[in-house]
Chains A and B, each alone.
Chain A
Amino acid sequence: MVLLGAVGVIVRKHPVHAALSLVLTLFGVAVLFVSQEAHFLAAVQVIVYAGAIVVLFLFVIMLLGVDRVENLRTEPLTAQRPLAIITCLGLVGVLVAAIVNGSGVLNERGEGIKLPDLQNGPDANTVQLAESIFSKYVVAFEVTSVLLVIAVVGTVLLTRKTKSSSGGQTK
């Protein structure tokens, strides 16, 4: 399902269709998170990604014209497509090779904090994640919050239409 959605993103001409394919992918990833016992993250994924971000995308698409359909048959830059195919196949190859190569290492290790299972309570994953964030990574947390504020303020400033007429109130 994930892969289907991903392929859909890249092949659909209409941007709205591509956005919907993205939603499919994101849902798939959320399911995969659950199967990895990262429940909190799955919930966040659905809420933030599939919920807020894709909605944002759709807003912008509508703002800028829904009917801008891209012509996928032609490619103005020569050799872009073949090279892209080669690069991506190469990428896949390298990554899979790395994974396969390192899989032996992966299966050997099993250290650190144990992932609490059901016997620790239904919120165990959330609790452990919260403990990690607020003790070890609290500085990063604070910085990230500042980053969010800056991002919002910056975007508002960027997209302002400056009023050139006199007496206009800027907000």
Chain B
Amino acid sequence: MISLTLVPTATWYLVLAAVLFSIGTFGVLVRRNPLVMFMCIELMLNAVNLTFVALARELNDINGQTIVFFVMVVAAAEVVVGLGIIVSIMRNRSALTADDLAELKG
């Protein structure tokens, strides 16, 4: 398991990323404030970035880092749009949680 020299191998990073991802998922499922849910999504994205970078390091391939670059760009765009939507919805109603936006029901 943990050796005395504590050289972090790629596996460690990957496991960390996995845990981070799960925590993010849990947050999305449990929290009701839309903004906090969004933050948890950011957590998940970061976990993914971490995975890519670790694998790029491991496989000695620059493409992993390229992908991360693009992921960051798109994540930024997505945050912008998402927050815009949240703002426009929550402007008219106050004290809104995710559960109140249940109009698309069957």
Interface of A toward B, CB cutoff 8 Å: 2-3, 6-7, 9-10, 15, 18-19, 22, 25-26, 29, 32-33, 35-38, 40-41, 44-45, 48-49, 52-53, 56-57, 60-61, 63-65, 68, 70, 72, 75-77, 80-81, 84-85, 87-89, 91-92, 95-96, 99-100, 103, 106-107, 109-115, 125, 128-129, 132-133, 136-137, 140, 144, 147-148, 151-152, 154-156, 158-159
Chain A neighbourhood of B14, CB < 8 A: 99
With CB as the reference atom, state the residue of chain B lying closest to A71.
B32
Beyond A41-B53, A45-B72, 15 additional contacts (C-beta under 8 Å) are A10-B40, A18-B35, A48-B76, A53-B75, A56-B80, A57-B38, A70-B97, A75-B30, A77-B99, A87-B29, A96-B15, A107-B58, A110-B59, A136-B66, A154-B81
Shortest Cβ gap from A38 to chain B (Å): 5
Query: A9–B43 contact, CB under 8 A?
Result: yes
Which residues of chain B are near A76, meaning CB under 8 Å? 99
Q: Using a CB–CB distance below 8 Å, which chain B residues touch chain A?
A: 8-11, 13-16, 18-27, 29-33, 35-36, 38-40, 42-43, 46, 49-50, 53-63, 65-66, 68-70, 72-81, 83-88, 90-91, 94-95, 97, 99
Known: A6-B20, A57-B35. A85 touches B84 (CB 8 A): no
A112–B60 alpha-carbon span in the complex (Å): 6
- Selected contact of A111 from candidates B61, B69, B72, B99, CB within 8 Å: B61
- The interface residues of chain B lying within 8 Å CB-to-CB of A10 are 23, 26-27, 30-31, 36, 40
Contacts of B60 in A (CB 8 A): 110-115
A2–B56 Cα distance when bound, in Å, is: 20
How many residue-residue contacts, CB under 8 A, span A and B? 222
Which B residues touch A103, using CB under 8 A?
10-11
- A7–B22 Cα distance when bound, in Å, is 11
- In the complex, what residues of B have CB within 8 A of residue A65's CB? 94
Complex-state Cα separation, A129 to B67, whole angstroms: 10
CB-CB under 8 A from A140, the residues of chain B are 70
Assuming the contacts A41-B65, A76-B99, asked whether A155 and B23 have C-beta atoms less than 8 A apart, the reply is: no
CA A29 to CA B42, docked complex, whole Å: 12
Known: A63-B87, A148-B77. A92 touches B95 (CB 8 A): no
